[in-house]
């Protein structure tokens, strides 16, 4: 089975009050993003920094939020329809949120059940929408958005860099998450030490970025495991969280699959298929034209044969317009001259009507004849009589219909070829 490549992208931290937007950017560039590519979702195969348009392509793209960009709130999940769940969460968290509920994006854990106590993730909606729009505008379809750390049974501890003020230098922070919540605090205060001492179960392994590893070991007075930013993002991507919910839900799978298929179709690897299909279409078009030409030739030859047959049987016909119709008329003329009745003559129509006449019905009250058409005035016929009369005439080559107290008998030959 082919492996599915995963691209993890660490989003730049959101600019905060008193901090310039460029101060929140990744070190080295305000446009570059930390990325990591994995063939199996477990080990990195490549990593680096790049602008969104230059990021490598993968089967799945996961965006990772900085720990400081997500706040966590615990509540009992209400019973509400899916289309009203967001409004219900906003109502329950209205007092706990620092911003207006409509300006905050909320997300629930996977497999959340009504009536259970769950953690709800909250982040700035407009900022997250802007980040996703920027990535997708660069050609990346973001499948999931995950937090770097999240509350859970296992305690997690990670040291990273950040700025408290616009003109301050980067300083180390510690982010800790356990079953009681998640917090991110600077090391130079007492709150961080109080938080760590109050942990019921310390992390199995403290991790830190390369820039904060020395400060973290000094602060902990113990070892930490250095973890690259891309490694940290890939670790977060293995969680079950996905903040693309409600109005920020990912696009429909079929549209994303269609876009990916279109990209593959345009790739150089598919060029031989393009050439083959174009050749097949050309051969098909040439074949259709050849078949149409042969059919036209066959029709023309058949028409010529009809003309030869007509002029051979009736040499007096010099101008041929409709060979079958002219042949019928000339044959009818010869038959009439010989005194033989035809299917459209009065004798034939009367004979057919007499043979199909319904039993027990009186004779017609009157009649009117036109070549190929006989109108009979009848009295007291029921719809069943008319139907039976028509059914008996049909095998003889005639049709009948009732109209305004008359039964009209028509010759089908006259209908096809016209009365002479």
Residue 413 is part of a domain; what is its CATH number?
A: 3.30.1360.100
Question: Which of 348-387 are b and which e, b meaning 16 or more Cβ less than 10 Å from the residue's Cβ?
Answer: bbbebbeebbeeeeeebeebeeebbbbbbebeebeeebbe
Residues 276 and 155 in one domain: no
Query: Model-level pTM?
Result: 0.59
Task: Give the range among 137-151, 236-250, 391-405 with minimum mean pLDDT.
Answer: 391-405
Residues 302 and 345 in one domain: no
Evaluate whether residue 335 is within a structural domain. Answer: no
Residues 216 and 84 in one domain: yes
Q: Which of 232, 247, 265 delimits the end of a domain? A: 265
Q: Compute the chain's Rg from CA coordinates.
A: 44
**Region for 162 from its dihedrals, namely left if φ exceeds 0, alpha if ψ lies in -120 to 50, beta otherwise:** beta
Residues 97 and 130 in one domain: yes
- Cβ distance 72 to 181 under 8 Å? yes
Give the full edge-to-edge strand order of the sheet including 33-38. Answer: 44-50, 33-38, 6-10, 60-65, 144-147
Number of domains in the chain: 3
Residues 170 and 317 in one domain: no
Q: Is 14 helix (H, G, I), strand (E, B) or coil?
A: coil
Residues 30 and 89 in one domain: yes
Integer CA distances (angstroms), 7 to 18, 53, 139, 292, 331, in order:
32, 14, 13, 54, 86
- Average pLDDT score over residue span 254-274: 67
Q: For 55-113, what is each residue's pLDDT tens digit?
A: 999 989 999 999 999 999 999 999 999 889 999 999 899 888 877 888 899 999 988 99
Residues 118 and 239 in one domain: yes
Residues 290 and 211 in one domain: no
Residues 254 and 281 in one domain: no
Evaluate whether residue 336 is within a structural domain. Answer: no
pLDDT of res. 116: 93
Q: What share of the chain in percent tops pLDDT 70?
A: 85
Task: Give the range among 31-45, 180-194, 283-297, 324-338 with minimum mean pLDDT.
Answer: 324-338
pLDDT of res. 164: 65
Evaluate whether residue 57 is within a structural domain. Answer: yes
- Cβ distance 25 to 31 under 8 Å? yes
Task: Give the range among 65-74, 187-196, 338-347, 378-387 with minimum mean pLDDT.
Answer: 338-347
- Average pLDDT score over residue span 278-297: 90
Evaluate whether residue 61 is within a structural domain. Answer: yes
Q: Which of 265, 291, 313 delimits the end of a domain? A: 265
For tokens 């993002």, what's the residue?
233
For tokens 């699959």, what's the residue?
257
pLDDT at 139 exceeding the cut of 50: yes
pLDDT at 336 exceeding the cut of 90: no
pLDDT band, very low/low/confident/very high, at 217 (cuts 50, 70, 90): very high
Residues 376 and 323 in one domain: no
Evaluate whether residue 1 is within a structural domain. Answer: no
Q: What share of the chain in percent tops pLDDT 90?
A: 41
pLDDT of res. 24: 45
pLDDT band, very low/low/confident/very high, at 1 (cuts 50, 70, 90): very low
Q: Where is pLDDT greater, at 129 or 356? A: 129
- Average pLDDT score over residue span 252-259: 54
- Residue 260: which CATH number? 3.30.420.380
pLDDT of res. 175: 94
Q: Which of 208, 230, 265 delimits the end of a domain? A: 265
Helices (H) and strands (E) in the chain, counts: 11, 17
Q: Where is pLDDT greater, at 385 or 420? A: 385
pLDDT of res. 326: 79
pLDDT of res. 419: 42
pLDDT at 255 exceeding the cut of 70: no
pLDDT at 258 exceeding the cut of 70: no
pLDDT of res. 186: 92
Residues 291 and 224 in one domain: no
Evaluate whether residue 247 is within a structural domain. Answer: yes
- Average pLDDT score over residue span 126-139: 92
pLDDT of res. 263: 60
Whole-number Å distance between alpha carbons of 367 and 95: 98
- Mean pLDDT, the chain, integer: 84
Whole-number Å distance between alpha carbons of 370 and 15: 97
Structural domain that includes position 236: 6-265
Nearest in space to 253 (alpha carbons), one of 141, 344, 338, 359: 141
Q: For 9-59, what is each residue's pLDDT tens digit?
A: 999 998 765 544 444 443 334 468 999 999 988 899 999 999 999 999 998
Residues 353 and 240 in one domain: no
pLDDT of res. 84: 92
Evaluate whether residue 122 is within a structural domain. Answer: yes
């Amino acid at each position: 089975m082919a492996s599915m490549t995963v691209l993890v992208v660490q989003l730049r931290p959101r600019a905060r009050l008193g901090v310039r937007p460029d101060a929140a950017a990744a070190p080295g560039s305000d446009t570059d993003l930390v990325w990591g590519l994995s063939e199996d979702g477990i080990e990195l195969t490549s990593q680096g920094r790049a602008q969104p348009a230059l990021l490598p392509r993968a089967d799945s793209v996961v965006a990772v939020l900085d720990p400081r960009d997500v706040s966590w709130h615990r509540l009992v999940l209400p019973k509400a329809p899916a289309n009203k769940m967001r409004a219900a969460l906003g109502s329950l968290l209205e007092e706990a949120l620092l911003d207006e509920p409509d300006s905050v994006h909320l997300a629930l854990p996977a497999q959340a059940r009504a009536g259970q106590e769950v953690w709800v993730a909250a982040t700035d909606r407009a900022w997250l929408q802007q980040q996703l729009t920027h990535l997708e505008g660069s050609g990346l379809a973001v499948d999931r958005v995950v937090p770097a750390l999240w509350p859970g049974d296992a305690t997690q501890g990670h040291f990273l860099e950040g700025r408290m003020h616009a003109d301050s230098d980067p300083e180390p922070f510690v982010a800790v998450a356990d079953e009681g919540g998640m917090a991110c605090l600077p090391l130079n205060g007492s709150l961080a030490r109080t938080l760590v001492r109050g942990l019921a179960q310390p992390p199995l392994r403290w991790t830190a970025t390369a820039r904060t590893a020395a400060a973290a070991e000094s602060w902990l007075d113990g070892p930490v495991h250095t973890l690259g930013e891309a490694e940290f993002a890939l670790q977060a991507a293995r969680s079950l969280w996905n903040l693309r919910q409600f109005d920020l839900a990912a696009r429909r799978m079929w549209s994303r699959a269609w876009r990916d298929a279109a990209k593959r179709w345009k790739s150089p690897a598919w060029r031989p298929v393009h050439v083959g299909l174009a050749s097949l279409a050309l051969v098909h078009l040439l074949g259709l034209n050849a078949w149409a030409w042969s059919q036209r030739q066959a029709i023309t030859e058949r028409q010529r044969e009809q003309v030869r047959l007509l002029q051979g049987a009736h040499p007096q016909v010099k101008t041929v317009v409709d060979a079958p119709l002219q042949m019928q008329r000339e044959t009818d003329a010869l038959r009439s001259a010989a005194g033989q009745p035809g299917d459209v003559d009065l004798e034939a129509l009367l004979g057919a009507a007499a043979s199909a006449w319904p039993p027990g019905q009186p004779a017609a009250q009157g009649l009117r004849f036109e070549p190929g058409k006989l109108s009979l005035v009848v009295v007291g016929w029921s719809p069943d009589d008319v139907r039976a009369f028509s059914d008996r005439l049909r095998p003889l080559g005639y049709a009948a219909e009732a109209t305004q107290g008359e039964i009209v008998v028509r010759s089908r030959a006259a209908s096809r070829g016209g009365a002479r």
